[in-house]
Amino acid sequence: MKKRKCGHCHIPYPYYEMESHDMGKVQLCNRREGWGFSPHISKKWHYFVNGVSLCGKIGFYRGELEQGNDDSEDNCTACKKALKRLMERRQAEELLKELDRKGRVEL
């Protein structure tokens, strides 16, 4: 059986969820993301998107991830800042999509 891969992030199934979104002409997968911790790698919790930390210090992580607790002192400061920017960008993209659906904005 041939392993399926995401056309966007090229991560083999099942390391990402196969559910896709249609964003224009590009198919994007639902990214596996959240806070992860491994005492062998770091003393702090890092935020991972598809196995890569937002701060860039950890390149591959396949452990368990948890959602929430974004402001914990145990979290990597660089990941917290990057997560804040990521969430703001996602929120702005959702707002633009909503406005575009209502016909109030041209993208």
DSSP string over 11-24 = PBTTSSEEEEEEET
Please state the rounded mean pLDDT for residues 49-62: 90
Q: What are the structural domain ranges in the chain?
A: 1-31, 32-101
Average confidence (pLDDT) over 78-88: 95
- The pLDDT of 19-31, averaged and rounded, is 45
Which range (6-15, 26-35, 46-55) has the least confidence?
A: 6-15
pLDDT at position 3 over 60: no
Pairing of strands 26-30, 17-23: antiparallel
> pLDDT confidence of 18, banded at 50, 70, 90?
very low
Rounded mean pLDDT of 72-98? 93
pLDDT number for residue 45: 95
Q: Provide the pLDDT for residue 30.
A: 56
pTM above 0.85, yes or no: no
